[in-house]
Chain A
């Protein structure tokens, strides 16, 4: 049986020679993503700004204007509506009532629910979230902190296990991935809720996973080919790991696309973010973090090797039988 080989054997693509162009493009895209995020803002969900979100399921797609007028007459604040999926489900965003009465939120939900089920027989409540401003502020802060801690922790890990250039280049690449994800959410207007923080953390984890595999190979090749120039080593390492990079990205994408198509609307934003993250993360492994190592002056200096922790660690591994 002939097995499938997506990437042919012994590729020799000159990744490093393209890095000037790649840096320019990457920088441009990052600035554009940042600009879009600031200009358009993110569609933050009730998790992060507080308020009430009601998801109502109708028997047939309702007339959005009729729903809007109906809710506005109740005097519960300005509603923003969004149709979900096949149009049968509608999410209704309302401001949280000012009253300190614990039942105030429920009254709003009951009012809306009552009016809707009267006007549209068969309409049922699928989901209801009510988050106070205090909690949403904390969730936003905690989410941001989690992302920052993850980047910091993994950057430190890379510095500890490799050399500082690896740590810095990895963190730069991760920030790039993050900016792209932010830009994606700013453009698509997908709602940013708690699960998106999980998606971002996973993107970070995956993206670093990808970089570590290449970094590990660079380190190995630095030991093996002491005389080779850094650009050559990086090209060799990226090419050697290319089949794995492509294979793994494709398997995970395959799994995620299945999730995107069949996984239901609740996780749509989450899966979409992950798919984008895998693509962007794979790109940044090759063009941001690896290429950046040259700019940061990583050198296979035989003299420095004696005290570099990475070299010491590698020294324990036996490469005597490697040609």
Chain B
């Protein structure tokens, strides 16, 4: 028990000091710590800092439908381009699968070859993203596989995350966190944001921009559409207006280099200026040269925003979009165009906003409660265990500082339940010392001398402390794994506290007790 070599003391004190240093930046204002080389700070959760949290869910069904449509176009185009050309018919999408027939039975193998080139392997199992089967020797059925769908969702979600990141940064908000939750959800947290309206609108739109030619023919209601055309709503044409355009987009948002909100010189209306990248500029120049006098349509999310006439070839590679914009909506569209289109539609399924007043109030109340709790517990420990209580108290203070330091290092945010976790950790950390001290009292009553009693007290209590902390850790881990937001913050504090408190309450106080006994050799202890 008394055998505490100098090296061990240095090691224990060294570890404690190092861990405590981690907490130092959190106690200084941000503007001071910013100039320090390394300054991890404890960040505040949304419930303390104020701000908004949005949970977005991807529309997986829409993605599946979109994939089928793309496949439809690819098959039609692929068969057409094959040499010799493969004639197909009855191509249709129904019940989540695509079917068509090959007119010449002799071309079935060639058609299969074209299809094989359109599908890809997924993962390592040799599975493909589409299932191809032939029925009645000439009818093909192409069906998406689950692995293929999962892969497509994953790719889309990864891309969506970076688009969201760009869009939020476009609004100039600070330190947003964007994390995937499960396979098809993204959680967005923006501290300090008071009105999530603009953000929600920006994230709720896919912002798929397309340039399409307006079709030459005009269709009457009820009449079948000419091949390769589609009827789209026309925003400028009044309520219910539609316009017939060619299906194939000549250019898309991906061909843009940049976009910005501006004013039209002639009438001061709000517009969105854009410029194509060099490739897109060339294509646009060629198309406008070839189609002078015709109209093209600027389509955003399948709505025609404007359909200007091509009066002269546009060779500069830039242009503008006009519509019924306000300065804000023009800016929003510019941000959206700059960040690219969302590859998958997102819906807000959970939304939480906390005002700055409530957050500040919660911090104040939490800190007051923590201080009162710590002082009360420490006083209680001192009047019950005297010197041993003081040692336990010192351990508690060090423990609190270390928890703050470790949280800063791990980047876990302090939430209001986290503050409650602090208070609870102080209570349970003290439990370890209660167990030890009660055991020492007991051993003294059994007639052991001071050294034996202290030795046995620590030894016997350590096993109990380990087991008790294990059960605590089990519930902590479950909370951390399954909880969200504030609950996670609580679990993080609890788990960090369990690890650090065993060190401070057992190892550190044992050292203090051993040093004291070695120096004073007391024949009796007041405990």
Please give, as numbers and ranges, the residues of chain B lying within 8 Å of A264 by CB-CB distance.
361-362, 364-366, 369, 416
Tell whether B228 is near chain A: CB-to-CB under 8 Å. Answer: no
Contact, CB under 8 Å: A3 / B351: no
Tell whether B232 is near chain A: CB-to-CB under 8 Å. Answer: no
Contact, CB under 8 Å: A243 / B438: yes
Tell whether A213 is near chain B: CB-to-CB under 8 Å. Answer: yes
Tell whether A169 is near chain B: CB-to-CB under 8 Å. Answer: no
Interchain CA distance A152-B240 in the complex, whole Å: 60
Contact, CB under 8 Å: A250 / B430: no
Interchain CA distance A178-B373 in the complex, whole Å: 26
A3/B424 contact (C-beta < 8 A), A129-B352, A205-B474 known: no
Of A1, A150, A157, A266, the residue contacting B416 (CB under 8 A) is A266
Could you give, for residues 236-254 of chain A, a 1 whenever the CB lies within 8 Å of some chain B CB and a 0 otherwise?
A: 0000110110011011101
Contact, CB under 8 Å: A198 / B479: yes
Report A77 CB to chain B, min CB distance, Å. 17
Tell whether A267 is near chain B: CB-to-CB under 8 Å. Answer: yes
Q: SS class of chain A's interface: helix, strand, loop or mixed?
A: helix
Tell whether B478 is near chain A: CB-to-CB under 8 Å. Answer: yes
Interchain CA distance A1-B420 in the complex, whole Å: 34
Tell whether A154 is near chain B: CB-to-CB under 8 Å. Answer: yes
Tell whether B494 is near chain A: CB-to-CB under 8 Å. Answer: yes
Contact, CB under 8 Å: A258 / B353: no
Tell whether A288 is near chain B: CB-to-CB under 8 Å. Answer: no
Please give, as numbers and ranges, the residues of chain A lying within 8 Å of B427 by CB-CB distance.
248, 251-252, 254-256
A interface residues, tally (CB under 8 Å): 79
Question: Which chain B residue has the least Cβ–Cβ distance from A196?
Answer: B487
Could you give, for residues 460-491 of chain B, a 1 whenever the CB lies within 8 Å of some chain A CB and a 0 otherwise?
A: 10011001111110111011001111110011
Report A255 CB to chain B, min CB distance, Å. 4
Contact, CB under 8 Å: A195 / B423: no
Report B335 CB to chain A, min CB distance, Å. 17
Contact, CB under 8 Å: A262 / B355: no
Please give, as numbers and ranges, the residues of chain A lying within 8 Å of B484 by CB-CB distance.
139, 194
B 361-383 contacts with A by CB, 8 A: 361-362, 364-366, 368-370, 372-374, 376-377, 380-381, 383
12 extra A-B contacts, CB within 8 A, seeds A197-B487, A258-B373, A317-B463:
A126-B355, A198-B491, A202-B494, A205-B472, A217-B464, A243-B441, A248-B430, A255-B373, A256-B427, A267-B417, A270-B420, A323-B446
List A residues at the B interface (Cβ < 8 Å): 1, 3-6, 9-10, 55, 57, 100, 102-103, 105-106, 110, 124-132, 134-135, 139, 142-143, 145-146, 149-150, 153-154, 157-158, 161, 194-195, 197-198, 201-202, 204-206, 208-209, 212-213, 216-217, 220, 240-241, 243-244, 247-248, 250-252, 254-256, 258-259, 261-264, 266-267, 270-271, 274, 317, 323
